[in-house]
Structure 1
């Protein structure tokens, strides 16, 4: 028996699609990048649709009150009450019992599949894996306060263990389906599990998703004055900043669709980035079970690079950090990063670090996906987003990222330059109802009107016709340019009256003499068609002439 001495090398995986809903109105990756590029920070005001913040926060920080003044929430354009239950094959009763986290996951995963150009029928019954990171179920806690008014199927509706299975059930995908909870690292641990499932052949593709909704303030109410400094009394996340005083809880939903790189190339999928290596570990017996460890973080980074087959860490230009803005977490993370990169780093080529939490704060299990999506966008746009840091004190300041994504190792396809197109192409849009169809038309027009967007009309027509799920309500436009308006689309309409249907079983030939003659005499429309066809035949010559 021989033992291989070759070091383990992870197969690269391609991120072929992603979607997100984050605070600040960032309900798509494109909106998120615009938001980051402008250096904006999401509002920390609590919308009335969540809870009455005045009943829980007064700024005193007394036991029994909220430590932070609010949170960062999805804005009102994302309605947690509205849900297209029939589209997801759910009854009204089941939808009522469904945790809004599950509703958001279904919608965002569908958006992610559309972003990847994967029609639902192409994965139906296939070994596609699903890994969902979960952290809390505010909806379930709220339902438990009034058990006599439980809706039917509440157990399945609010159970966190069912979140991944809900997606697998709707899509009818047959790969591993796992809901996991590792706290704030959950979604990147899910990505690591997806990479293993792809490498071992358990799955041909994988969905990694997470949702975090802030429906109840009890998570941030300091009942005994022992909450410590995890949550920010200033209401902002001052990542790597001398003002760091904790993080503020945020909502968020995100997903990525991944495949083996070789499969993605074969299937001509849109490769947004390539993940060369992932790693996950534990602190073991650290100073405290919840305390971060610089040593464990450094070990995870080195393991990810080793699994990727990368020996020169100096090739890394940017590192997206966890960066929670806590007095304990930031210095520990910086120490772990420094222990990994500083010894061989050229002083003239500093490692750029950042964290998306300064802009949209900490969505807990979704945090890893938010950071990953930001990093992919930075690669695609070839720029670094504005980090929100006011007064950094790096000598005294700094959970870890389980997966490292060097910006120089990622591959990107797309964004071709605009070219003149003479040949017309047909663009077909579809939706589950008429209202959604109009929204889809307007979304496409807004996208094409964005000066950042550069694409070729043939690519657009192909993607929408061949890489989209075709639904019942449809509209189309035939065009030679991407400059289109809503009025240009033809929308299929139902007839005002139900048409009358007649069945004629004529058999072989006429059933009585001069049957065809009577048909022409009683139905002028039929005669006009025959006359038109007769004229076409006569125009070709050498044809027998008919006699009326």
Structure 2
């Protein structure tokens, strides 16, 4: 920026919308740059085929043109947790704005779960023609739908609060309404809320879906509607507007916050203003030069910029004989036109491209201007041929361009103004400036983790394809920023996928399945914050260079390895890092097999790795070690300080190394079958699985047992150890070790872990007793019983925190009563030729797939990363639509919402809740479908189906798991009361929410159809007609 920040700047960090001729921002900007006119004209054949009245179509003044929004019937109801019937009863304006609200937060990089920002929502909508024409025009809806439900689903009062509820946003949330200027006023209000500290991020916008002019319209003589179906702002042939449908939303933040968080910034909102014309105009609906000039002047003053620094104005630009000259006159007045160079500021008008979007017009103009600043291009003005002679062009700097132009830099930053003027006189103007140049991101890891998630498998596939296509087109975006945005800026949904990759090309190939080296891992979970258990392996897992790659790439791991190595050096007489970073050869292996070095090295690597995991938010709910691994658990639990733990581990290893040589044998046999085969000098050192034990003792005794087992066909294997751990051979050192332990302060565990001695949870008394640690050295490691203890709680995720996969293998073989668990390995096996970083990142991805919570900011540490605009969620829209009883043939009455060229819909378009209404498939439930068995259950199931809009409800289906809530429960109880003639308490449904339970409570009551209410029907129809007749057209 040319000047220092004042603290009053607001950054536009996210954009989203649906527009005539474009379903997304990319298509919208392409159309704008190409000068595309999205107002479509229809042939007589198309109109007649769609059901329009022939007399109307052939009327000499009828204009067969409209700026339609495609697929307004579509909505991803399941994604937002709505039942099909709720979706059908909801104004498509609410549905589309809800989708765009989700998209704009994702676009900003702040759509993640647990984002700490306080988010406000400020928006408005046009009149609900869906309510007036479709819902109140359907007799079944009028007869059987609670008016409160109609109000909640269609009134503008609930537009923003619906978003706040569904997206869990806790900042201010309220409707803004000022006719055509609604959405730009919402932007002004949102900006003020940000600057006043009421919220940290503000979502602002508007939506307008006009179902009454889907085929065309009849303009009145001297009215504002264009008689030829074209909108030509500032042109000599301009004769009026064409209404369109659309939705737009922007995400706003205080500029200093956006810069600090690395948000994507499309433009800066330097200042804004809102006023009203008062009585200084020709009539209530007429515009005012004075009012418009004043609001522009005030916005310039609030932005603290000179008019001559503005080189583009996105105007209100209605293309009317009265509106255009007044608007340019007001601009000339505000800019002090006579003093500025001619043709130094371009005028644009989005209405020439997509028509007048009413409550969404202002924000869509803001989106266009923001994209122009972002791309540094000035789009052409379509349909402009000759300047309007009634506009005082010579009095100011303004002109209209007809070609796409590069927006050249001047002495000041590129700046633009955006105007929006509402019928009723409320005017809004904002001043924009180009975004400051982004500082580069910090250097990143060699490998990146890309997490993707969606609500369904098919949506996940679509999202994967979208991201691959995006990366192919945008290789210039740092992959680390892409990964960061996916990690912190998206919510973790049920179906998940991760990819570990090293470059954009690598990522693209991995996402498309074209890579032979990158694995695309997938999974599903409904868990949030899945409990993770750390497993720490014991001696035998060590190998040279274990963790060497992590030492180089992970600062936290390196920090704790360094700390342990320094503390151990006086005990070991060497720097342990020499071994940990040594080449993986026989010399290093021989040194590391020395017990005193092996145990110290294992503790160091496992402790450092655990600390790394914890810095990434993977906090253990519980832990269990194997032999020496329990010391890591005890240290992390607070039983031992780090210095004391290292001293004990060093002493333990040194004492054991003094012992005579011993041997250990792994045997595929359970404890009961193995114990009778053991001689007096042999002992069972470990029970690793129900049928896998380890025997320990003198080498000759172990060799004899091996020969005997081999003759009997029992699988067994000698382990690579120098001593007979957990056997009578260690008894000579027990007292000396006990003396050392007694000098150490032992504390009560703060984190639960499983004891090797008992296979049960460690008790405070055990942990604080020095004799426990002596017995731990001598007695059997009961690892399999410990796994049984862990398996009693469902949903646990086991993470092996140490080298290799020994414990992971044992855990996977363990039958778990609570169901299969997820087991993850952190480090590679010594024979694997996979980089340490890849194994670790795939482990992190696997934990996320299983539902573990990850602290992604902790993962990135102090590195500066940028959020980038990535492809947003691929909603899976289905048609949810209720049509009037009789498709009226008139236009502009608009009782014809069907797609042009398509027959009236016969699925999901009938009224609610007639018994033959088309319904949507039963959702996935935990219970199997069981059909109703008698008339009572059929009756209750039918009511569930009608209220929820679902087909084939089974007797064990839970009303609330099907998508029901308290308001719909009231509807169910009302239907059952009307059908049975018996007053049924609402509590009945809460106490027994399945079909079978409700039917049982109803007993032997018979069903009868609900009574009709002709008087209520007539009142609702009268209300709809009065509102329709009194609704004014927009300017």
- Tell me the TM-score normalized by structure 2: 0.45
Counterpart in the other structure of 1:58: 57
Residue 394 of structure 1, CA deviation = 4.1
Which among 153, 161, 178 is matched to residue 157 of structure 1? 153
Residue 220 of structure 1, CA deviation = 7.0
Counterpart in the other structure of 1:501: none
1:297 aligns with 2:292: yes
1:177 aligns with 2:173: yes
Which among 340, 356, 360 is matched to residue 362 of structure 1? 356
Residue 304 of structure 1, CA deviation = 0.5
1:104 aligns with 2:127: no
Counterpart in the other structure of 1:86: 78
Residue 170 of structure 1, CA deviation = 1.1
The structure with the larger Rg is 2
Pairing 1:266-415 to 2, within 5 Å after superposition: 266-285=260-279, 286-310=281-305, 312-343=306-337, 345-347=339-341, 350-397=344-391, 400=421, 402-406=428-432, 409-412=433-436
Q: 1:231, 1:248 within 8 Å by CA — same for their partners in 2?
A: yes
Q: 1:68, 1:231 within 8 Å by CA — same for their partners in 2?
A: no
SS of equivalent to 2:428: coil
After alignment, is 84-93 or 158-167 more displaced? 84-93
* Whole-angstrom distance in 2 between the partners of 1:494 and 1:304: 50
* Whole-angstrom distance in 2 between the partners of 1:235 and 1:267: 46
Which among 103, 120, 124 is matched to residue 129 of structure 1? 120
Pairing 1:2-151 to 2, within 5 Å after superposition: 11-24=8-21, 26-45=22-41, 52-53=51-52, 57-58=56-57, 60-61=59-60, 67-75=62-70, 79-123=71-115, 127-141=118-132, 142-150=134-142, 151=145
Residues paired across the two proteins, number: 504
SS of equivalent to 1:209: strand
Residue 28 of structure 1, CA deviation = 2.3
* Whole-angstrom distance in 1 between the partners of 2:359 and 2:140: 31
Say if 1:521 and 1:377 are closer, same or farther in 2 by CA, change over 3 A: closer
Counterpart in the other structure of 1:492: 522
Residue 521 of structure 1, CA deviation = 10
Say if 1:261 and 1:520 are closer, same or farther in 2 by CA, change over 3 A: closer
Q: 2:113, 2:490 within 8 Å by CA — same for their partners in 1?
A: no
Q: 1:56, 1:217 within 8 Å by CA — same for their partners in 2?
A: no
Residue 102 of structure 1, CA deviation = 0.7
SS of equivalent to 2:387: coil
Q: 1:314, 1:344 within 8 Å by CA — same for their partners in 2?
A: no
Provide the aligned C-alpha RMSD in A.
3.7
Residue 512 of structure 1, CA deviation = 4.8
* Whole-angstrom distance in 1 between the partners of 2:389 and 2:333: 14
Residue 433 of structure 1, CA deviation = 0.7
Residue 340 of structure 1, CA deviation = 1.9
Residue 104 of structure 1, CA deviation = 0.5
Counterpart in the other structure of 2:998: none
Say if 1:521 and 1:28 are closer, same or farther in 2 by CA, change over 3 A: closer
Q: 1:114, 1:468 within 8 Å by CA — same for their partners in 2?
A: yes
Say if 1:494 and 1:307 are closer, same or farther in 2 by CA, change over 3 A: closer
Counterpart in the other structure of 2:550: none
Residue 269 of structure 1, CA deviation = 2.1
Say if 1:140 and 1:196 are closer, same or farther in 2 by CA, change over 3 A: same
* Whole-angstrom distance in 2 between the partners of 1:361 and 1:464: 36
Say if 1:378 and 1:517 are closer, same or farther in 2 by CA, change over 3 A: same
**CA deviation map 1:213-232 (0-9, x unaligned):** 1222399755xx74643112
> Gapped runs of 5+ residues in structure 1?
1-8, 496-505
1:514 aligns with 2:506: no
SS of equivalent to 1:371: helix
Residue 302 of structure 1, CA deviation = 0.2
Q: 1:270, 1:413 within 8 Å by CA — same for their partners in 2?
A: no
Counterpart in the other structure of 1:3: none
Say if 1:423 and 1:138 are closer, same or farther in 2 by CA, change over 3 A: same
Say if 1:162 and 1:97 are closer, same or farther in 2 by CA, change over 3 A: same
**CA deviation map 1:125-177 (0-9, x unaligned):** x6422111212111101211224424452221111211111111112223222
* Whole-angstrom distance in 1 between the partners of 2:81 and 2:159: 16
Say if 1:472 and 1:533 are closer, same or farther in 2 by CA, change over 3 A: farther
> Gapped runs of 5+ residues in structure 2?
1-5, 393-419, 422-426, 526-623, 628-669, 676-683, 696-714, 728-1035
Say if 1:422 and 1:217 are closer, same or farther in 2 by CA, change over 3 A: same
Say if 1:60 and 1:353 are closer, same or farther in 2 by CA, change over 3 A: same
Residue 37 of structure 1, CA deviation = 1.6
Say if 1:122 and 1:522 are closer, same or farther in 2 by CA, change over 3 A: closer
Say if 1:518 and 1:105 are closer, same or farther in 2 by CA, change over 3 A: same
* Whole-angstrom distance in 1 between the partners of 2:303 and 2:688: 77
- Tell me the TM-score normalized by structure 1: 0.82
Taking CA–CA contacts closer than 8 Å with sequence separation of 6 or more, which of the two structures ends up with the larger relative contact order? Answer: 1
Q: 2:671, 2:691 within 8 Å by CA — same for their partners in 1?
A: no
Counterpart in the other structure of 2:483: 461
